[in-house]
Amino acid sequence: MKKYVPALILFFIITTCAKPIEKSEKLNIFVSVLPQKYFIERIAGDNAEVHVMVLPGHSPATYEPNPSQMKEISRAEMYFRIGVPFEELWMKKLRQLNPELEIVDTREGITLRPMDSFITLQQQMAHRHNDDQKENYVHYNQKDPHIWLSPELVKIQARTICKNLQHIDPENSDFYSENLQNFLDDLTALQHYFEEHLSQIEHKEFLVFHPSWGYLADEFGMVQIPIQIEGKSPAPRQLAEIIAYAKEENIRVIFVQKQFSTSSAQTIAQAIKGRVVSIDPLAENYIINMRSIADIFMEVLDEK
């Protein structure tokens, strides 16, 4: 038996060397929503493995991480949060699970707007007809988290992402800076694309079920009119008021997203003899998706 021992040892060494244990050198990063994955990958390139918490088809308002995500995040190095509602409950739990996890808030440097509601819109309209009335609007008591839907605010987020990638991986600092500039150039081109398309539109007010598009509307001089009332479907009286407003303003299109029910939108569309159009605020390929939305706005907002 002893004469076989050296051979066995040599066999073990050869097979071990031939199949080394592979260790990924990529940064292990988590984000909350799919557009952030695109932002990180534009700047980090192949240097990062990016995991998304809110999976396609789910709402960031009510999402709960699954066990496999919790297991993966225990090994993650960085989490880029953005302020969607589920984070308020889960950030503390994720930090307890992984005390070494570096959590970066991409809202840094951004002034958050209040969530829009139809009630606020009515107050603003009343103010227009009464110059003596003070601008003391009652807003939905929640800040709007949809900062990724304004290209200008995405530029701020991109700089925050780049700065933190450089902090955790200084050896590739120049690589991240170069990728950041390329991304900023694409965002500027996207802004020009929106400006060109929206310049051809007369009606800049648009009806939506969930008020996701406030930052986009602010950037390009538009007004979103939400059907939801403080995060809930409207009561019958409120629904009637929205229908009356849409008829008065000659609005024929209602925008919805797949993460929310469309029943109220369908009811209004039937009442105003209009139609429901789906646009997605959570699509992964940000530039392509936003250009598609600009195309849709130009195509449908002036429909009679």
Instruction: Mark the ranges of the chain whose per-residue pLDDT is less than 50.
Output: 1-23, 127-129, 132-139
The pLDDT assigned to 125 comes to: 54
Tokens of 43: 């700047």
The pLDDT assigned to 206 comes to: 93
Q: Which residues contact 53 (CB under 8 A, 6 or more apart)?
A: 30, 31, 32, 33, 63, 65, 69, 86
The model carries a pTM of: 0.85
Q: Which residues contact 268 (CB under 8 A, 6 or more apart)?
A: 207, 227, 239, 242, 243, 246, 254, 274
State which fold the 27-110+147-189 domain adopts: Rossmann fold (3.40.50)
State how far the alpha carbon of 215 is from the alpha carbons of 114, 261, 286, in Å: 10, 22, 15
The pLDDT assigned to 11 comes to: 37
Taking the domains of the chain in order of start, what are their residue ranges? 27-110+147-189, 114-144+202-300
Phi, psi of 102 (to 5 degrees): -90, 115
Phi, psi of 29 (to 5 degrees): -125, 140
Tokens of 293: 């939305």
User: Apex CA 139: angle with CA 247 and CA 238, to 5°?
Assistant: 35
In this chain, the answer to whether the domains covering 27-110+147-189 and 114-144+202-300 adopt an identical fold is yes
- Contacts of 283-286 with C-beta under 8 Å, sequence gap 24+, read 283/34, 283/35, 284/34, 284/35, 284/37, 284/38, 285/38, 286/35, 286/38, 286/39, 286/148, 286/154
pLDDT in tens, 203-219: 899 999 989 999 999 99
Tokens of 187: 């965002």
How do the residues of the chain divide into helix, strand and coil, expressed in percent and rounded to 5? Answer: 50, 15, 35
pLDDT in tens, 140-162: 568 999 999 999 999 999 999 99
State how far the alpha carbon of 54 is from the alpha carbons of 5, 86, 146, 279, in Å: 54, 9, 14, 18
The pLDDT assigned to 7 comes to: 39
Alpha-carbon 206 to chain mean position: 19
Homologous superfamily, domain 114-144+202-300: Nitrogenase molybdenum iron protein domain (3.40.50.1980)
- Could you say which DSSP state residue 117 is in? -
